[in-house]
């Protein structure tokens, strides 16, 4: 009975703490993009962050109370009445306690961590994702739509309410692809293609930036992801495919190195630009298969 009561009280405390952190998070202004996710990936990552933050706050609290007490009580001043015990240098129970308590707290964090890690690694079942091939170039982002056949530079359009599979590679030094409000980042690397799925449940324009330094134009590697309704997305894709100019190989080579450009739109793009073979590397095995076996590719 006592035990149940205690555990209910504990749960209530936890709920209260979660509420507190939630309020704090909501209280932070809209510029705290990581705290204001608009899709399931970002939201799951945020809730784990909050969970870990609460657990860590508990640890910090315990340590600070002990530490503060020790410093206040045992300072060396005249007339300190607290006992001076130079022989107090071992205590089996205490020492066991501070192995077990942190271990338990870590285990509590570890379980949802591992679960979410596996969950986020694959696309949600029974969905029909939109695939976008992303190549980081010096110093711009190239987005290619293998199904819609269109290409854009420094901005992407995605449908709301649907998972979007970004296939990331680089034809340049490494970068990371990060749209904070949609979810976490992933590296773009030459010679490899890494999958990352994100989803926006709310229409809007979300900014992204590279997180891995890539040279003198790195600061300019901002891009925008515009989330629109699925019908608007289809309309945009077919309209672009019909009206914009096609990307030629010469266009691609112009994009390749050491320039900063604005937003660009192309009706189509030449084959072999994703993953690019400009530098003559060959892709084989490993991570690449993970993406190439994706049945959703056109």
Partner 1 sequence: MPSFVPYLIHTLFPPDTRQPTELGADFMILVSGAGIFFYLQHFKKWKWLWTEWLTTVDHKKIAVLYLVSAVAMLFRGGVDALMLRTNLALPNIQPIGAVEYNEVFTTHGTIMIFFMAMPFIFALFNAVVPLMIGSRDVAFPRLNAVSFWLFAFGALLLNISFVIGGSPNAGWTGYPPLTEIAFNPGPGESYYFMSLLIAGIGTTITGINFLVTIIRMRAPGMTLMRMPMFIWTTLCTAALIIFAFPPLTVALGLSLLDRTFGSSFFTLAHGGMPMMYVNLFWLFGHPEVYIVVLPAFGVFSEVVSTFSGKRLFGYTAMALSTVAIMFLAYGTWVHHFFTMGAGPSVNAFFGLSTMLIAIPTGIKIFNWIFTMWGGRIRMTVAMLYQLAFIPTFVIGGATGIMLAVIPADYQFHNSYFLVAHFHNVLIGGTLFGLMSGLYYWWPKMFGYKLNERQGTWAFWCFAIGFWVTFTPQYLLGLEGMTRRMYTYPLGFGWHELNVISTIGAFIMGAGFLILVYNIYYSLRFQDKDLTGDPWDGRTLEWALPSPVPEYNFARIPVVNDLDAFWVMKQQGVTLASSLRAEDVRELELPRNSGMPFILGLGFFIGGFGMVFEWWPIAIFGGLIVVGSLVFSAFDYNDRKHMPAEVIRQTEAGLGRLQA
Partner 2 sequence: MSTPVVGESQHQIPLEFANEEESLKITGFWMFLMTDMIIFASLFAVFAVYRSRVAAGPTPDQLFHLGPVILETLLLLTSSFTIGMAVYYMRKDNLAAVYGWFIATIVLGAGFVITEVHDFVTYVHLGATWHVSGFLSGFFVLVGTHGSHVTFGIMWALTLLFQLRRRGLTDITRRKLFTFSLYWHFLDIVWVFIFTFVYLYGKF
DSSP 107-148: HHHHHHHHHHHHHHHSPPTT--PEEEEEEEETTEEEEE-TTT
Instruction: Work out whether 210 is an interface residue with partner 1 (CB under 8 A).
Output: yes
Give 130's strand partners: 164
Choices 9-17, 95-103, 227-235, 239-247 (CB under 8 A): range interacting with partner 1: 95-103
Residue 90: CB minimum distance to partner 1, A: 6
Query: Strand pairing of 151-153 and 264-266?
Result: antiparallel
Q: Is the dihedral of CA 27, 28, 31, 35 positive or negative?
A: negative
Instruction: Work out whether 261 is an interface residue with partner 1 (CB under 8 A).
Output: no
Residue 273: CB minimum distance to partner 1, A: 15
Rounded Cα–Cα distance for residues 43 and 183 (Å): 8
Check residue 126 and give left, alpha or beta (phi > 0: left; psi -120 to 50: alpha): left
Choice from 4, 89, 126, 271 touching partner 1 (CB under 8 A): 89
Choices 3-11, 114-122, 157-165, 233-241 (CB under 8 A): range interacting with partner 1: 114-122
Instruction: Work out whether 35 is an interface residue with partner 1 (CB under 8 A).
Output: yes
Contact flags string 159-198 toward partner 1, x per CB under 8 A: ------------xxxx-x-x-x--xxxxx-xxxx-xx---
**Secondary structure of residue 236 in the 3-state scheme:** helix
Residue 264: CB minimum distance to partner 2, A: 32
Residue 128 binding result from partner 1, partner 2, none, given CB thresholds of 5 to 8 Å by partner type: none
Q: Which is nearer to partner 2, 109 or 287 (CB)?
A: 287
Phi, then psi, of 244 in degrees rounded to 5: -75, 170
Rounded Cα–Cα distance for residues 182 and 122 (Å): 16
Query: Strand pairing of 164-170 and 130-137?
Result: parallel
Residue 212 binding result from partner 1, partner 2, none, given CB thresholds of 5 to 8 Å by partner type: partner 1
Instruction: Work out whether 142 is an interface residue with partner 1 (CB under 8 A).
Output: no
**Secondary structure of residue 185 in the 3-state scheme:** strand
Instruction: Work out whether 212 is an interface residue with partner 1 (CB under 8 A).
Output: yes
């Amino acid at each position: 009975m006592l035990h149940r009561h205690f555990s209910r009280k504990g749960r209530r405390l936890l709920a209260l703490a979660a509420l507190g952190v939630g309020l704090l998070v909501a209280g932070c202004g809209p510029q705290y993009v990581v705290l204001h996710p608009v899709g399931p990936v970002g939201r799951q990552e945020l809730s784990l962050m909050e969970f870990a933050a609460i657990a860590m706050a508990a640890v910090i609290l315990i340590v600070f109370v002990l530490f503060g007490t020790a410093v206040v009580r045992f300072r060396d001043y005249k007339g300190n009445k607290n006992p001076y015990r130079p022989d107090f240098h071992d205590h089996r129970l205490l020492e066991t306690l501070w192995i077990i308590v942190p271990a338990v707290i870590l285990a509590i964090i570890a379980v949802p961590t591992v679960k979410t890690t596996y969950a986020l690694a694959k696309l949600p079942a029974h969905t029909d994702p939109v695939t976008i091939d992303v190549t980081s170039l010096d110093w711009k982002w190239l987005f290619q739509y293998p199904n819609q056949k269109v290409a854009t530079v420094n901005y992407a359009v995605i449908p709301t309410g649907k998972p979007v599979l970004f296939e990331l590679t680089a034809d340049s030094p490494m970068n990371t692809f990060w749209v904070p409000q949609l979810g976490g980042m992933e590296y773009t690397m030459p010679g490899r293609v890494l999958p990352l799925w994100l989803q926006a449940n709310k229409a809007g324009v979300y900014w992204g930036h590279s997180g891995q330094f890539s040279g003198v134009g790195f600061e300019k590697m901002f891009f925008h992801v515009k989330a629109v309704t699925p019908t608007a997305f289809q309309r945009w894709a077919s309209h672009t495919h019909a009206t914009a100019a096609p990307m030629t190989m010469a266009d691609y080579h112009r994009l390749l190195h050491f320039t900063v450009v604005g937003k660009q739109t192309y009706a189509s793009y030449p084959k072999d630009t994703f993953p690019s073979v400009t530098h003559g590397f060959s892709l084989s095995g490993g991570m690449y298969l993970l993406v190439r076996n994706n049945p959703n590719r056109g």
